[in-house]
């Protein structure tokens, strides 16, 4: 295996390992900005479902107002 392929493999593996951590951090940040679990799930093409996103947000200690948001027209 040549050096270029080895480097590419290592970079891809590092990105793969870091992706879940980065995605969870982005989910928490979106929740802090007021996005709902469903909005976040749709934004990430349902990589994680709304239920799991809610779990991630609660585990991070993000407090959000309960109930529905007012409709935006």
Q: What per-residue confidence (pLDDT) applies to 13?
A: 96
Q: What is the pLDDT of residues 26-67, one digit of tens each?
A: 999 999 999 999 999 999 999 999 999 999 999 999 987 777
Taking the C-alpha atoms of residue 32 and residue 56, their distance in angstroms, rounded to an integer, is: 12
pLDDT, residue 65, reads 73
pLDDT at 60: 96
pLDDT at 73: 61
Q: Where are the domains of the chain?
A: 24-62
* Letter string b/e over residues 2-31, b meaning 16 or more CB atoms within 10 A of that residue's CB: eeeeeeeeeeeeeeeeeeeeeebeebbebb
Mean pLDDT of all residues in 13-22: 95
What pLDDT sits at residue 64? 79
């Amino acid at each position: 295996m040549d050096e270029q392929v080895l480097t590419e493999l290592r970079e891809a593996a590092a990105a793969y390992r870091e992706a879940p951590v980065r995605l969870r951090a982005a989910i928490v940040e979106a929740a802090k900005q007021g996005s709902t679990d469903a909005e976040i799930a749709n934004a990430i093409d349902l990589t994680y479902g709304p239920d799991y996103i809610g779990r991630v947000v609660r585990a991070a200690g993000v407090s959000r107002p309960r109930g529905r948001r007012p409709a935006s027209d």
